[in-house]
Chain A
Amino acid sequence: DVKVTQSSRYLVKRTGEKVFLECVQDMDHENMFWYRQDPGLGLRLIYFSYDVKMKEKGDIPEGYSVSREKKERFSLILESASTNQTSMYLCASRKVGGPLPYEQYFGPGTRLTVT
């Protein structure tokens, strides 16, 4: 069964803290994504990774960085958390190749509150 896991369901951090959000997939997928989801704005792409050690900025990368040292793990880093980074963070993975438009599989999300 397809599985994407995220390290925490709920996280509370203080302004200025460095925050690590971890995502692991067990499907050997090449692509991985980090989104944030806010009411009325939908899902917005922060970063995505084609494959190991490869990354590309999404629509809202400011204040975030990522790391993909192993194929199954994609980390999102908030270098200095701010209150406007309070949000639901969703990780996803996707297989590439073949004629079909492969779907993304999402993790359960991490609800981050920055106080």
Chain B
Amino acid sequence: RKEVEQDPGPFNVPEGATVAFNCTYSNSASQSFFWYRQDCRKEPKLLMSVYSSGNEDGRFTAQLNRASQYISLLIRDSKLSDSATYLCVVNIYNYGQNFVFGPGTRLSVLP
């Protein structure tokens, strides 16, 4: 079983739609969690950290469920510019501060 799993997509949604991405992780010792965004042929960039209580940044909401080892990202009112690959990232302190990346979920927002 992979350490971090994501639905690869692609998710093709119309502008204005709400879309949700899921991510599961296998190591219960995981300590911190992130969503990164990677545009085509570009480097990954941090979208948001994920906190235990859940957090929101504008149209983006991230949730963490430690009991189920599950992270989600919700995008409301999606824009064309949201088209990208979204990477779920888990930091496992026990493994020397390694960051483990999920394979990513590709989103295409269509006009």
What residues of chain A have their CB less than 8 Å away from a CB belonging to chain B? 31, 33, 35, 40-45, 48, 50, 56, 58, 90, 96, 100-101, 103-104, 106-109
B14: Cβ under 8 A from any A Cβ: no
A45 near B99 (CB under 8 angstroms)? Answer: yes
Task: Report whether over half of chain B's contact residues are helix, strand or loop; otherwise say mixed.
Answer: strand
Number of A-B contacts (CB under 8 A): 48
Q: Do residues A101 and B104 form an inter-chain contact, with CB atoms below 8 A?
A: no
Classify chain B: how many residues form its interface, as a range: 20 to 34
A106 cross-chain contacts in B, Cβ below 8 A: 43-45
B interface residues (Cβ-Cβ under 8 A, vs A): 8, 31-34, 42-46, 49, 87, 91, 96-104
| The residue from B31, B96, B102, B103 contacting A101, defined by CB atoms under 8 A apart | B31
The answer to whether A42 and B102 have CB atoms under 8 Å apart is yes
Decide if A42 touches B87 in the complex (CB within 8 Å).
yes
B91 and A45 contacting across the interface, CB-CB below 8 Å: no
